[in-house]
Amino acid sequence: MANIKKFDLIVIGSGAGEDVAVEAAGHGLKTAVIEKGALGGTCLNRGCIPSKMLIHSADVVEVIKSADLFGIKVKGYEIDFSSIIKRVSNAVDGDSKSIENALTSGNNPVLYHKEGEFAGKKTIKVGNEIITADKILIAAGARPSIPNVPGLKESGYITSEEALRLKKQPKVMTIIGGGYIAAELAHFYGTLGTKINIIHRNEVLINREDNDIALRLTEVFKQKYNVYTGCEPTKVSKSGTVFEVEIKDKRGKMQVLKSDALLVATGVTPYSDTLKLEKTGVKTNERGYIIVDAYLRTNVDGIFALGDIIGKYLFRHSANHEARYAIENMVHSKQIPVDYRAMPHAIFTSPQIGSVGKTEEQLKEEKIEYLVGKYDYINTAMGSAIEDRTGFVKILVEKRTGKIAGCHIIGHEASTLIHEVIVAMKSGNGMIDNITSAIHIHPALNEVISRATYSIE
């Protein structure tokens, strides 16, 4: 066996794990970072950063399209698709290169820009080298999951990774999947003029959201795009440049959708299957996610994991949150359980969605008595000013305690508005009074939050 190089800490993955590596190196721990791809992880290179930059272009187009509502006549505009993609790719690649330069500019951390896999207990093979450490953090993330549909794998489909860097705008795009990635990319391409087909097995899109939110987004999307809910793809083929996707609804009715692009957005699979975890003894669940305790510890002493690969929450902000605890527990040798209270998320569609806490369906399932407050954007001064006729706020309160159980918003700037509720839930006693007793600026859009709390019953 090759000579083994010893480190104090090894981090696999350069997304949120990079924060842990840099902090460890700053405290004098000899640290290694293993990253096979572009530095910065999924979020920076093929996830939330490029997608939101692209989506902003779509949002600008929507402003132009709706300008006549506000007495502004726009004579015309053109979509320069290649320039949109180039702007985003250049920004993302530049940021990734900056991270790489920072990691390679000194002697600690040491960057291994190669694929790594476990070779034994706490030993990792990277290229032709073997490295080891008493503490190892696995933050290798996840990749798009591909369903087993006849003909799909041979068809030349794309995933969200390629969809963010297409050189040419498709005329027609068929999307298999109806979660948040599918919804966001449908918004981007559809708003820019691509005809969109969405195939989703559930009756509503984004079916993990509160049902009222999912129903409203599905309703809005069906007015914009060809949405086939309650359907599954049964066969995929390609003739020349044309994809043909055969779908079947729950009544057994078949039809064929044709397009010049086929996007698969059906969830993710953790990279755990590429790391040979069995050689170091780290356990995973039936879906391949690494099992950790409240302190991010795996079953192997000294090996921790965080981010998408543990499957707790699949957001960069949740991975960053976990990284703060990994720093305390691995670098500073404390044992602090991760506080996941009031973990929020947003979906950057049109309309936007912001969510925190439990859904109404979860409260019913857990047999928690609750009260509901709901208010439409259009019934507030600012909601009327911006002509938001589909947005609403739904807030859920535990009947016994008066604590905020959850809040779900669909509408303009939902991703920003939700933060008032996040702070109210996470700080102090988490009671609904924290919102109702606050003075809300009139006629700012956040009045829709206070109005929702006043309507609780």
pLDDT tens series, the chain, 457 aa: 468 999 999 999 999 999 999 999 999 999 999 999 989 988 888 888 999 999 999 999 999 999 999 999 999 899 999 999 999 999 999 999 999 998 888 899 999 999 999 999 999 999 999 999 999 999 999 999 999 999 999 999 999 999 999 999 999 999 999 999 999 999 999 999 999 999 999 999 999 999 999 999 999 999 999 999 999 999 999 999 999 999 999 999 999 999 999 999 999 999 999 999 999 999 999 999 999 999 999 999 999 999 999 999 999 999 999 999 999 999 998 999 999 999 999 999 999 999 999 999 999 999 999 999 999 999 999 999 999 999 999 999 999 999 999 999 999 999 999 999 999 999 889 999 999 999 999 999 999 999 999 999 9
Q: How high is the pLDDT of residue 2?
A: 60
> Is the peptide bond preceding residue 150 cis, with omega within 30 degrees of 0?
no
Query: Half-sphere exposure of residue 332, counting CA atoms within 13 Å on the CB side?
Result: 11
CATH 3.65.10.10 applies to domain 344-454: no
The DSSP secondary-structure symbol of 297 reads: B
Task: Work out the burial of residue 373: count CB atoms within 10 Å of its CB; fewer than 13 is exposed, 13-18 middle, 19 or more buried.
Answer: buried
Active-site option among 56, 317, 321, 442: 442
**Residue 141 C-beta-side C-alpha neighbours within 13 Å:** 25
Same fold, 4-144+269-331 and 160-266: yes
The fold of the 4-144+269-331 domain, in CATH, is FAD/NAD(P)-binding domain (3.50.50)
Please give the Cα distance from 318 to 316 (Å, whole number): 5
The residue whose two tokens read 């302190």 is 295
Domain 160-266, what fold?
Answer: FAD/NAD(P)-binding domain (3.50.50)
CA distance 371 to 386: 29
Residue 427: the pLDDT is: 86
Cα 112 to the chain's mean position, in Å? 27
What does the alpha-carbon distance between residue 173 and residue 160 come to, in Å, rounded to a whole number?
A: 13
Q: What are the residues whose beta carbons fall under 8 Å from the beta carbon of 284, sequence distance 6 or more?
A: 270, 272, 277, 290, 291
Which pLDDT score is estimated for 46? 81
Active site residue 332: no
User: In this structure, are residues 156 and 244 in contact, taking their beta carbons and an 8 Å threshold?
Assistant: no
Query: What tokens appear for 296 in the block?
Result: 């991010």
- Which of 408, 405, 396 has the alpha carbon at shortest distance from 453? 396
Q: Beta strands of 271-412 (E only): which ranges?
A: 303-305, 344-347, 353-357, 370-376, 392-398, 404-410
- Cα 279 to the chain's mean position, in Å? 31
Q: Are 338 and 325 in contact (CB under 8 A)?
A: yes
User: For the chain, which residues make up each domain, given as ranges?
Assistant: 4-144+269-331, 160-266, 344-454
Residue 109: cis peptide before it, omega within 30 degrees of 0? yes
Per the CB < 8 A criterion, the answer to whether 17 and 10 are in contact is no
Longest dimension (CA), the chain: 75
> Where do we find the tokens 């933050």?
139
428: left (phi over 0), alpha (psi -120 to 50) or beta: left
**What's the CA gap between 64 and 33, in Å, rounded?**
45
| Residues near 381 by beta carbon (within 8 Å), at least 6 away in sequence | 442, 443, 447
